[in-house]
Amino acid sequence: MVGTALFFLFAGFAIMCAISMVYHKNPLYSAISLVGVFISLSCIYVTLAAPFIAAVQILIYAGAIMVLVVFVIMLLNLDDDRPLNRLRYLYAIGGGLGVVLLAQTLFVFYAVLRAPNQPVDPNTSAGKTLTIGQAMYTEYLLPVEIVGVLLMMAIIGSVMLARRLSQPQLELVVEREEELRGEDD
Q: Are 32 and 73 in contact (CB under 8 A)?
A: no
List the interface residues with other proteins, window 50-89 (CB under 8 A).
51-52, 54-56, 58-59, 62-64, 67-68, 70-71, 74-75
Q: How far is the CB of 98 from other proteins (least distance, A)?
A: 29
Residue 16 contacts other proteins per CB under 8 A: no
CA-closest candidate to residue 78, choices 37, 33, 24, 38? 24
Q: How far is the CB of 44 from other proteins (least distance, A)?
A: 15
Sole window of 32-40, 83-91, 97-105, 141-149 interacting with other proteins (rule: CB under 8 A): 32-40
The backbone region for 49, taken as left when phi is positive above 0, alpha when psi lies in -120 to 50, beta otherwise, is left
Residue 27 contacts other proteins per CB under 8 A: no
CA-closest candidate to residue 50, choices 161, 130, 147? 130
Backbone phi and psi for residue 139, each to the nearest 5 degrees, phi listed first: -70, -40
What residues make contact with other proteins under the rule CB under 8 A?
28-29, 32, 35, 39, 51-52, 54-56, 58-59, 62-64, 67-68, 70-71, 74-75, 129
